[in-house]
Amino acid sequence: MAVAVDSSRKVLVVDPDAQTRREIKGACEQDGYQVVEADTGSEALRQVEHSRPNIVLLEVTLPDGAGFDICRELRKMDPVVPVIMMSSRSDEIDVVVALEIGADDYVTKPLRLRELVARMTAHLRRSRFESAEAMRSRLEFRELVIDINERRTYKSGKEVELTHTEFDLLTFLASNAGKVLSREKILNSIWGYEYPIETRVIDVHIRNLRRKIESQPSRPYYILAVPGIGYRFTNARPA
């Protein structure tokens, strides 16, 4: 039985290996995704501009350059589209670099296709927050303003450019201001699944957020670490 294709779930698969692309395409189409393919970095950037994918799967090693460089260029073109990087390399430094430059996630090969599709779906799904405060259209904290409906963030009146995952993470933390949130709860609420590198993923995204919203990232005001547990967002309101 054919699965109806959802035009709002278009994925760009960037990998030089044709067999890998075929396997990913088959798994994605079974779940209703529309699939666009690219085998080089330059083709990937062209497809991002031409096809406007809703999510990108990007191999780290490409014939015309590093996937990390392509991710940086992609982020300049579209700062919010979710990007999942793929690689046979599982070194921590590769994971950290990928997240530091704006990737939302990192998966290692050989791919577990059902898990990959589940991760894609989790990234596309808008976060549903438990706090009733999350139903508000704006959250305001000192000089920080989060416009939930417009998915925009402002610091001292100037817009702060956040990735899709960074915005969801910030909004989740801010919607639960004053509460101590464990890493497990953050992971399940934003990413929607568990996997071995969750601590690195969360901590790197927190570090990126602090660089963008904190006046002194090394001495954060908004996002506070709770040793051995997770994080707490300040509950201080504007005067």
Same domain, 97 and 186: no
pLDDT of residue 32: 94
Name the domain boundary from 65, 99, 124.
124
Q: For residue range 164-204, what is the model confidence (pLDDT) as tens digits? A: 889 989 999 999 999 999 988 888 888 776 554 456 788 88
Same domain, 136 and 107: no
Same domain, 156 and 78: no
3-state secondary structure 121-148: HHHHCCCCCCCHHHHCCEEEECCEEEEC
- Total of domains in the chain: 2
Q: For residue range 130-142, what is the model confidence (pLDDT) as tens digits? A: 334 444 588 999 8
Looking at the chain, how many residues does it have?
Answer: 239
Confidence of residue 4 (pLDDT cuts 50, 70, 90): low
Confidence of residue 125 (pLDDT cuts 50, 70, 90): confident
Taking alpha carbons only, the member of 80, 73, 82, 10 closest to residue 40 is 73
Domain contains 45: yes
Using CB atoms within 10 Å of the CB of residue 175, give its burial: 0 to 12 exposed, 13 to 18 middle, 19+ buried: buried
Q: What are phi and psi of 143, to 5 degrees?
A: -95, 5
Are 64 and 26 a contacting pair, CB within 8 Å?
Answer: no
CA distances (Å), origin 97, targets 70, 71, 108, 111, 144: 13, 11, 14, 20, 27
CATH code assigned at 221: 1.10.10.10
The share of the chain scoring above pLDDT 90, in percent, equals 62
Same domain, 41 and 112: yes
pLDDT of residue 231: 96
Q: How far apart are CA 117 and CA 29, in angstroms?
A: 10
Same domain, 47 and 93: yes
- What domain range includes position 148? 132-233
pLDDT of residue 199: 61
Confidence of residue 5 (pLDDT cuts 50, 70, 90): low
pLDDT of residue 239: 52
Confidence of residue 237 (pLDDT cuts 50, 70, 90): low
Q: Check the CA dihedral 100-101-102-104 and report its sign.
A: negative
Q: How far apart are CA 119 and CA 160, in angstroms?
A: 26
Domain contains 5: no
Q: How far apart are CA 153 and CA 67, in angstroms?
A: 28
Q: For residue range 13-35, what is the model confidence (pLDDT) as tens digits? A: 999 999 999 999 999 999 999 99
pLDDT of residue 133: 43
Are 202 and 170 a contacting pair, CB within 8 Å?
Answer: no
Are 36 and 11 a contacting pair, CB within 8 Å?
Answer: yes
CATH code assigned at 76: 3.40.50.2300
Same domain, 111 and 144: no
pLDDT of residue 3: 61
Q: For residue range 48-103, what is the model confidence (pLDDT) as tens digits? A: 999 999 999 999 999 998 999 999 999 999 888 999 999 998 888 888 889 889 89
Direct distance between the N- and C-terminal alpha carbons of the chain, in angstroms, rounded to an integer: 59
Same domain, 75 and 148: no
Q: Check the CA dihedral 32-205-138-172 and report its sign.
A: positive
Domain contains 210: yes
pLDDT of residue 130: 37
Instruction: Decide which of 189 and 210 is more confident.
Output: 210
Name the domain boundary from 90, 106, 124.
124
pLDDT of residue 127: 35
pTM for the model: 0.71
Quick check: 46 pLDDT over 60?
yes
